[in-house]
Amino acid sequence: MIKLQNVYKTYFLGDEQVHAVDNVTLEIKEKEYVSILGSSGSGKSTLMYLIGLLEHPSSGQIFLDGKNVTSLGDEKLSQIRNEAVGFVFQSFNLIPKFTVLENILLPTKYAKRKLDFNPLARAEELLKKFGIWERRNFFPNKISGGQQQRVAIARALMMKPKIILADEPTGNLDTKTGDEILDLLESLNRDFKVTVVLVTHEKDVAKRTRRQIYMRDGKLVGKYL
């Protein structure tokens, strides 16, 4: 499904060249549930941005469903992200002035194609599935962190994506709520048949996934220390 081949992402800090992602070759298959595990500064979030087509590689190639998307322009990549990729972030990234329902509907507003589903009906279905129906007309600052993350996950699913990328999705939550969110991500993979990639620095969180990918100093390694 997603394949990276000899991918580098290089930044400059003054005159120093930093390889945030250093010659990574990786394949994530359809319907997988995997984690990318590494400490702060290991390059795991940069790798996620490359997988999610939010960043262009400095060199190397990225394939989505067998198609080379490395050289596509920003407009085309934006369309692919909108239709094929859902993002869930540690800080939720909800729009404060929008209600829960409006936040979930947001990806449909940027759709470049005619939708094959009723946006409102799908949003209502997701609200009910994730237990936030009663909060649909609330603003984000009026609901709990766990509920905000459920809203973010529902929004990520709105366009029926092929892949969900979750960057430290339990980082701002207490243990109990974090476990509930991990249960929810597992159900997305199991029930919705969506590929889920979870980025984390916590071994216990990574163990919940079926495959672990370890990063250190921008490279894939065999073990997380």
Residue 177 located in a structural domain: yes
Residue 41 located in a structural domain: yes
The string of DSSP letters for 78-91 reads: HHHHHHHEEEEETT
Residue 122 located in a structural domain: yes
Q: What integer pLDDT is reported at residue 146 of this predicted model?
A: 93
Q: What integer pLDDT is reported at residue 114 of this predicted model?
A: 85
Residue ranges in the chain whose pLDDT is less than 50: none
Looking up residue 149, the CATH number of its domain turns out to be 3.40.50.300
Question: Whole-model pTM?
Answer: 0.89
- Quote the domain boundaries for residue 107: 29-53+72-221
Q: What are the strands of the beta sheet with 33-37, ordered from one edge?
A: 85-89, 163-167, 195-200, 33-37, 211-216, 219-221
Q: What angle do CA 13, 49, 194 make, to 5 degrees?
A: 165
Element (H, E) at 154: helix 145-157
Report, in angstroms and rounded to the nearest whole number, the Rg of the chain calculated over CA atoms. Answer: 17
Beta bridge partners of 63: 3, 68
Q: What integer pLDDT is reported at residue 111 of this predicted model?
A: 83
User: 65: Cβ–Cβ under 8 A, 6 or more apart, which residues?
Assistant: 1, 162
